[in-house]
Amino acid sequence: MSSERPELSKPLLDSQLPQDLRRTFYAVFTEAYELFSQNRTIEAVQAAVPVWHQRVTAAVTAHPVLASTIFKDFFKWSLLEVFIERTHFVCQDTIRFLIEINPDALLWAHRADDGFGRTAAINMLAEYGCPKLPLWVAERYPWVLHHKQCRVMPPHLAMVRAYTDSGICDAETIRKFYELYPRGLREKSKLDSTPKYPIAAILEGNAEPPVDLVIWMAEQYPKAVYHEWEPGYTVLHEVCCIMANKESHPRLPSRCTPNMANICRFLIAKHPRLIRKQVRGRGTLPIHLLAKSCNRPLVQEMAILLLKAFPDCIEDSDLRSIPFIEQVHPLIIDEIEINQEILMLTQILQSMEKAVLLMKDKSCTTSEPGSSLFCAAAESFCSWASLQVSESLPT
């Protein structure tokens, strides 16, 4: 399908409908608005929905103009909007039907209820219990996501929040959506005070994104990994903060897990520039956020990786006061020095071996006594260097 769309159709005010259709519009609108107040239990709601869906589809099929009408005196809502906001997850078939009748209604924007910015039905889907419908929209109406309304307030970020905050969306749906709409990985909300790319947004909340999803997102748009939603604060800071966090609520699981540690390892290994990023005004490095929980084995592993990558981080720092870091830092310095010596000897060894081969080739065509003397000395050095390297390696 094309990602482009000509001008949107304009909504029709309810006052412009003939009187009989106006009554029908008000009846459907009111019944959707009062669905949960008229049916006191979720069981009663679910029992009423199938019959009601048939009535709504029959009325709108007979008069498609109903799907293009907005209630002027009620926030300029369309039928689509009242179904999304007031019926939540129980009427998704009806919501799909209304979109199919008039997909333009997804983008009819009006001032948000809080008075800030403009909102539209596409922005409400994931927020009001339909977090998988943005994927359905991306599959059938990709042009919707390219509209300026979705650039200002990307609807997929609400889908990510539905995964991280309430768990009513899942990681597979998130991945499928961004595979269909990869541009979304480059989008931030222009209305948030601290706008984040999806790779940062998915680390918030209570859910723990699988490492393969985070790696995939980072590979698709590496620039997002370096985005600072606060000056100097990046996704590596966030991951370290998550791993070190002591959950205050007993029913919230700790996210200091092997999966989160793998995300941290990936960021350290593939994006080492993040290791030296400091939060402006505080000088906070990622390792500072880990330091408060260095009694956890996984946190200790991550702290060691960060220390190896940036051993000078403890200079002029309160990290020296952390017992674990105080103990391991000298060992890490020793290991770094040994590795540097091994590297130097290995490079010399390789150079000498090449020189010996060249001299041996030369000795086949000349009888110069210096060549055999050099070969003997070089072979002696190679043996000594190999021994030094093997003795330096940990057993």
Q: Where are the alpha helices (DSSP H) in the chain?
A: 19-33, 35-38, 42-62, 79-87, 92-101, 121-124, 133-140, 142-145, 148-152, 155-161, 171-180, 198-201, 211-220, 235-244, 258-270, 286-291, 297-309, 323-363, 369-392
Q: Is residue 122 part of a domain?
A: yes
As a whole number of angstroms, the distance between CA 237 and CA 216 comes to 19
- pLDDT per residue, tens digit, the chain (395 aa), is 445 566 789 999 999 999 999 999 999 999 999 999 888 898 999 999 999 999 999 999 999 999 999 999 898 999 999 999 999 889 999 999 999 999 999 999 887 665 556 789 999 999 998 999 999 999 999 999 999 999 889 999 999 999 999 889 999 999 999 999 999 999 998 888 889 999 999 998 888 999 999 999 999 999 999 999 989 999 999 999 999 987 655 555 688 999 999 999 999 999 999 999 999 888 899 999 998 888 899 999 999 999 999 998 888 678 888 889 889 888 888 887 877 877 777 777 677 667 667 666 665 555 555 556 556 666 666 666 566 656 655 55
Q: Is 31 exposed, middle or buried (0-12, 13-18, 19+ CB in 10 A)?
A: middle
Report the C-alpha gap between 43 and 40 in whole angstroms. 9
**Looking at the domain assignment, is residue 142 inside a domain?**
yes
Residue 386 lies in a domain: yes
In a domain, 189, yes or no: no
Of 102, 126, 147, the one marking the end of a domain is 147
In a domain, 205, yes or no: no
Instruction: Domain of residue 35: give its range.
Output: 1-147
* 101 inside domain: yes
Pairwise CA distance, residues 266 & 202, whole Å: 16
Predicted structure pTM score: 0.83
Measured from the Cβ of residue 1, the count of other Cβ atoms closer than 10 Å reads 10
Euclidean distance between CA atoms 156 and 162, whole angstroms? 10
User: In total, how many domains does the chain have?
Assistant: 2
**CA dist., res. 46 & res. 56, Å (int):** 15
Question: Which residue, 123, 147, 171, sits at the end of a domain?
Answer: 147
User: Which one of 85, 115, 147 terminates a domain?
Assistant: 147
**Do 154 and 187 touch, CB atoms closer than 8 A?**
yes
Give the C-alpha separation, 43 to 380, whole Å. 87
Is residue 96 situated within a structural domain? yes
Neighbours of 181 (CB within 10 A): 22
308 within some domain:
no
Block residue for tokens 């980072």? 218
